[in-house]
Structures are given as structure tokens and as C-alpha cells.
Amino acid sequence: EPEVTQTPSHQVTQMGQEVILRCVPISNHLYFYWYRQILGQKVEFLVSFYNNEISEKSEIFDDQFSVERPDGSNFTLKIRSTKLEDSAMYFCASSEEASGSTDTQYFGPGTRLTVL
């Protein structure tokens, strides 16, 4: 069964460093998302992406964050200058459509980002 994959599974970085989290969405999906979950809190939407551009972003997704689909398979989240409060699980998701019954979002296993 097709699945969303994410690398790395765990990333440790120093505050102020740049990190890139990578995702390979399900191959026939057209809509891509990033969410995060800070320990003990709910899963929060960060950004959605379609047709090579951001379609919606939350207030969490400030200028430190960017997303890119550099080729036909990868979808990346870059954090330019990490802060301690960026420590969280980051989940990538993809969906076939954006509305109706086929808009179910399928999630990857997540990348645990630890900022020291």
C-alpha cells in the first residue's frame, strides 16, 4: 500500500541552524501538507501546497519557514534559523484531492526535531 515517507526520523540541531525536513508524498497525490505536534499538544496545521505554490498557511508558518517541491517526488520543509520552540514532531501529509471524499490526508511517520 502506498505510503508517505519522511526523512530523517530524528534531527538534532543547534539553535540558529537551518534544517530541512524531507517528505515523499504518495505518488498520485496532488496536495501536500505539513503539520507539527509539540510534545503534549495537539497536531497543528502549518502549510498546504498545491501546484507548486502555498495554498494556505497558519500563523505559525512565519518567514523562518519555507516549503518546496524540488522535483517530482520530494516535498521539503525548511526552517531557516531554528528556535528552541521549534522542537516538535513534524508530519508531512498528502491527499489526492482537496475536497470531497477523496481529500483524506495520509500522514507520514514524522520527523522528531530537537533544537538544543
Is 110 a binding residue for another protein by CB under 8 A? The answer is yes
**C-alpha–C-alpha distance, residues 92 and 37, integer Å:** 11
According to CB under 8 A, which residues from 17 to 36 bind another protein?
Answer: 31, 33, 35
Is 94 a binding residue for another protein by CB under 8 A? The answer is no
Q: Which range binds another protein by CB under 8 A, 12-20, 44-52, 67-75, 80-88?
A: 44-52
Report the DSSP pairing between strands 111-115 and 10-13.
parallel
Is 75 a binding residue for another protein by CB under 8 A? The answer is no
* Residue 13 vs 45, nearer CB to another protein: 45
Q: Which range binds another protein by CB under 8 A, 13-21, 41-49, 64-72, 73-81?
A: 41-49
- Sequence-distant (≥ 6) Cβ neighbours of residue 1 within 8 angstroms: none
For 21, the enclosing helix (H) or strand (E) is: strand 19-24
- Half-sphere exposure (CA, 13 Å, Cβ side) for 8? 9
Q: How far is the CB of 51 from another protein (least distance, A)?
A: 11
